[in-house]
Structure 1
Amino acid sequence: MILEFFSATDVGRARDNNEDSVALDEAAGLAVLADGMGGYNAGEVASQMLTSFVSTELGRWLKDGGQEARAGEVRRAMDICVDNANRAIFNAANTDPRYAGMGTTLVLGVFRPEGLLLGHVGDSRAYRWRGGRLMQITRDHSLLQEQIDAGLLTVEEAAFSSNKNLVTRAVGVEDTVLMELHLHEIQPEDVYLFCSDGLSDMLDDESLAAVLGAHATLADAAQALINGANDNGGRDNIALILVRAEGRQRTEGRGWWPFGRRGGK
């Protein structure tokens, strides 16, 4: 199945620096998105450390033999890589006062013949667009989501909550991290959207779906999503990755050839 990739970030309307980071390794079928947090520029440091570490180390493993690995082996490689990145960020935060308290969310996707192995930590999200319908396929690790799950708030009430950005998990804030990881079947013409809350807080699911349905190219869809978030206030940095399964098969080899194009920050 042929994959097309596109990524972009935008500083938004309210901030001077960009604490969101994205990385793609198309040859490995790998996509990484992070939204940093912390004082001064520490959030920017955390997110860039995470995306660089994961894309380099996991990308190398996938290209050096991981394409032949079983899904369970890839899961273990993803867990080990994120754990090592977590320790690096945690150690930096605890040895350099400039980085005290820094951490970052994570959305990590490895696109495989058997499906999408999708890991996440925090409240950055992944969505799937299929057959004209949008579905969120990650569940926020946040205080707000816990309140919704406990029946203390409705989804409608949550949209106006002051606790919107309080995450219950993040990479780098403790010496260990638990990444939630699931396998999702990929169907031809699926489009996957990974994004930071700078997008999902500014555009509701209906608006995201309308944009994805209105644009034929990933580049146009990405720009329209960023424009929409900024038009609605742009209160945070915006990061997104779009991946489309084009549904055609390579005739030689194993029939798996991830490739595409990448957008700039």
Structure 2
Amino acid sequence: MLMVSQTDIGRVRLVNEDRAAVQSELNGLSLAIVADGMGGHQAGDVASTMAIERIQEGLQYIHSGMSIDECKQKLRQAIEKANESIYDFASQRENYYGMGTTVVVTVASQDLLLIGHVGDSRAYKIDRESIVQLTEDHSLVNELVKSGQITPEEASQHPRRNWVLRALGTEPEIEVDIYEYPWKQGEIVLLCTDGLSGLLEDHTIWNHVKEETSLEAAARKLIHSALDAGGDDNVTVILMGHDQETEIETENEKG
């Protein structure tokens, strides 16, 4: 599995509250996590760091011999336990009260993607023909779009476009969306925070990934494009290439 992770503080924020982790070999599977923290007094970076650490810990014994249902259960439990840890930590410390974080987690085999999701960080699947959003935002503007109160174009400029309706750590229990998708050679999975998806249209993201010859170059192009578009938030991306036959290779593996 080819995996690249990059992040940037952006042009406005004083602290990078995004966190990411990749683990290309996890008992026959691959793991990628992106979290976007929120909260004052630098609480956001604490929340996102805790989410990454707790979820990784909770998934260390997942393996390719498990059934799909068992893997889904492990993924859900890891995210739920991370939520409990963050909520308990914040509840006992006044300066951290109300902190939280989004999270999007991908566990991948050679033919299947399992995705756990809370918040408005996203997962996409990209190939030479298309880009498909794999997660649905838990955000105010997405609910307004779904109910027909605003258009998708209006959502991108809405003053409350950063409001999330679900986040780890803000409540003692959390509802986790679990998705299952097939994937195959030649496809790339992108995980990102809204510092990317909130500034770049899907077709722009697709073009940047399609045009580059390595995962590292594609990740850099995405980051720089978000910065050029204003960079008003931290921006983090993970790119996962299916395997050594993925059309875009990592720079270290180019001949």
Which band: TM-score by shorter chain? over 0.9
Mapped partners of 2:92, 2:189: distance in 1: 37
Q: Deviations over 1:107-143 (max 9, x none)?
A: 0000024400011100001111123311111110011
> 1:169-208 counterparts in 2 under 5 A?
169-208=166-205
Deviates more, 1:225-234 or 1:111-120: 111-120
Distance 1:7 1:261, change over 3 A: farther
Kept after mapping to 2: 8 A contact 1:187/1:247: no
Q: Secondary structure at the match of 1:40?
A: coil
Q: Deviations over 1:34-74 (max 9, x none)?
A: 0000001100000000001111221x212xxx221001001
- Aligned partner of 1:11 in structure 2 is 9
Residue 203 (structure 1) shift: 1.1
Q: Secondary structure at the match of 1:98?
A: helix
Q: Deviations over 1:185-228 (max 9, x none)?
A: 01111011100001111211121111011101000000111110
Query: Is there any run of 5+ residues in structure 1 with no aligned partner, and where?
Result: 250-259
- Aligned partner of 1:31 in structure 2 is 32
Residue 247 (structure 1) shift: 6.2
Residue 99 (structure 1) shift: 0.9
Kept after mapping to 2: 8 A contact 1:24/1:55: no
Relative CO higher for 1 or 2, CA cutoff 8 Å, sep ≥ 6? 1
The number of residues matched between the two structures is 246
Mapped partners of 1:238, 1:158: distance in 2: 19
Residue 10 (structure 1) shift: 0.7
- Aligned partner of 1:150 in structure 2 is 147
Kept after mapping to 1: 8 A contact 2:127/2:210: no
Residue 157 (structure 1) shift: 1.6
- Aligned partner of 2:53 in structure 1 is 52
- Aligned partner of 1:252 in structure 2 is none
Mapped partners of 1:96, 1:135: distance in 2: 40
Letter in structure 2 aligned against 1:153? I
Mapped partners of 2:118, 2:160: distance in 1: 18
- Aligned partner of 2:61 in structure 1 is 61
Kept after mapping to 2: 8 A contact 1:189/1:247: no
Mapped partners of 2:245, 2:251: distance in 1: 17
Q: Secondary structure at the match of 1:61?
A: coil
Letter in structure 1 aligned against 2:109? R
- TM-score using structure 1 length: 0.89
* 1:126 corresponds to 2:128: no
Residue 248 (structure 1) shift: 4.7
Kept after mapping to 1: 8 A contact 2:104/2:116: yes
Identity of aligned residues (%): 36
**What's the RMSD between the two structures over aligned residues?**
1.6
Letter in structure 2 aligned against 1:69? M
Kept after mapping to 2: 8 A contact 1:191/1:244: yes
Query: Is there any run of 5+ residues in structure 2 with no aligned partner, and where?
Result: none
Q: Deviations over 1:62-88 (max 9, x none)?
A: 2xxx22100100111111111111000
